Structure 1
Amino acid sequence: MSDRPRVAFFRPDDERTTEAVALLDDLGADALADPMLEVAPTGASPRTDADYAVFTSKTGAELVAETGWRAGETTVCAIGDPTADALEAEGFRVDLVPEEFSSSGLVAALEGEISGARVEVARSDHGSDVLLDGLNEAGAYVHETVLYRLVRPDGAGESAEAAADGGLDAALFTSSLTVEHFLAAAAERGVRDEAVRGLEDAVVGVIGDPTAETARSHGIDVDVIPERADFEELATDAVAALDER
């Protein structure tokens, strides 16, 4: 039996899982990868007549390239450096990355210059209303294109059983949807209440206030919210919180 803490995370089963396992190992933790999100592309492409186009994820950046979309004179905005890096890797020019990597951060960066402008938001089907509402309130004409849907993979839920059995030291939630899918998987396995109780003894880390609000609304206490919406910071802060205990 390892003396290292056991830390669950819920990123999609792609290179992000590989990177997370390596990061947690470097931090001295044993990773429990339990993907709660699976990407189902819609094949949709953003409008080409927008003044601004907003991308919110690395996945969206990769999928939009597959559609053949071209930015032209559109101002391209990315929420976060990972999204910007992915867009640039696909050959797109990125014009704006807000200082705060969040929907509200992007709205703050654009308000004052988008009144009357056409703004295209290209993202998943579970995007926050904060972004659309904020852009509309700033006077923009907003259109949303759903590039992909996020579904719960078959077989997800090993982490819920671990939490229910008291075998989880930390859990890292990267979106409200990961919280909801964790709880749904726990319910399917008949351990929802036990899993929530098990998280009381674990360090629960989340990215962003919306995810924290979702967790708390379901009775999950939140211990760690990193300053930046970044998985490495989330994992580092959570393991540091474990060390303090």
Structure 2
Amino acid sequence: MREEPRLRVAAFRPDDERLAAAVELLESLGADPVPDPMLAVEPTEAVPRTDADYVVLTSKTGVELAAEADWHPGTATVCAIGDATAAALREAGYAVDVVPEEFSSAGLVDALDGDVDGARVEVARSDHGSAVLTDGLDAAGAYVHETVLYRLVRPADSGESAELAADGELDAALFTSSLTVEHFLAAADERGVREAAIEGLSDATVGAIGEPTRETAEEHGIAVTVVPDRADFETLACEVVEAAAPTHRD
């Protein structure tokens, strides 16, 4: 009996334990991972303020950098944008006071609305954080200060997935932020395959981790197939592989 070919699925996570976990997950789902990091972390050496009433951390990376700098939140209410960030905070020894039901900037704004009027809110994150968070907190009456803990840059050797897409050899792609979309297209452009890669993705199953990522992809002509209700990588990967598999078997 002829063995069915395995789905080729691109994952764009940073080249650390997150990419290793993505590869392991995709293999467990019966897919062939295409690990193609579209983000690399450049720390700024900045540290979150310690005089705020609320402190917002938006990523595991930000938590790790704050902990390495021996940052202490003092009496601030500590907010995590999702379970992964909350878990990183607890692992680093911090208490977590607020985790929104919806793991997004808008979800956190909704969770804090009504509580932060007149409060000092420190937002510690990357240089590509969504304005939805800071603008929303400002509209809720908070005095918002943002500290950029790290910059997100595109690795020089990224782009294998763009070439596979351009050749019609990529079955699915997992975009985990607007920046991964932009860096994928920049890598494709650099390799001279931008339009072909976009066309190739039209025949693939494309997943976006949330609405902002979907909007960015579609603004650039990439049709998105899957946006999971829960904004985490495991859910995204499982739903994309499930959606891709029936088409792949035909």
> TM-score, with normalisation over the residues of structure 1?
0.99
Counterpart code for 1:71: P
Residue number in structure 2 paired with 1:164: 166
| C-alpha distance in 1 between matches for 2:203 and 2:59 | 32
Partner of 2:39 in structure 1? 37
1:13-92 counterparts in 2 under 5 A?
13-92=15-94
Aligned residues: 245
Unpaired runs of 5+ in structure 1? Answer: none
Deviations 1:29-70 (A, max 9, x none): 000000000000000011111000000001001011111210
Report the 3-state secondary structure (helix = DSSP H, G, I; strand = E; otherwise coil) of the residue aligned with 2:187: helix
CA distance in 2, matches of 1:184, 1:109: 35
Match of 2:227 among 212, 225, 230: 225
CA distance in 2, matches of 1:82, 1:231: 10
Q: State how 1:92-131 maps to structure 2 within 5 Å.
A: 92-131=94-133
- 1:177 maps to a residue whose letter is L
Q: Does 1:178 align with 2:180?
A: yes
Aligned to 2:14: 12
TM (normalized to structure 2)? 0.97
- Which runs of no fewer than 5 residues in structure 2 stay unpaired? none
Q: Percent identity?
A: 69
The corresponding residue for 2:236 is: 234
CA distance in 2: counterparts of 1:222 and 1:180, whole angstroms: 14
Letter matched to residue 30 of structure 2: G
SS of the residue corresponding to residue 32 of structure 1 reads strand
Q: Distance in 2 between matches of 1:99 and 1:156?
A: 34
- Which of structure 1's runs of 4+ aligned residues deviate more than 4 A? none
Letter in 2 for 1:232: E
8 Å CA contact retained: 2:41, 2:152: yes
CA contact (8 A) 2:7 2:245 kept: no
* CA deviation map 1:109-139 (0-9, x unaligned): 0000100000000000000000000000000
Q: Partner amino acid for 1:188?
A: E
SS in 2 for 1:49: coil
How much does 1:2 deviate? 7.2
Deviation of residue 154 (structure 1)? 1.1
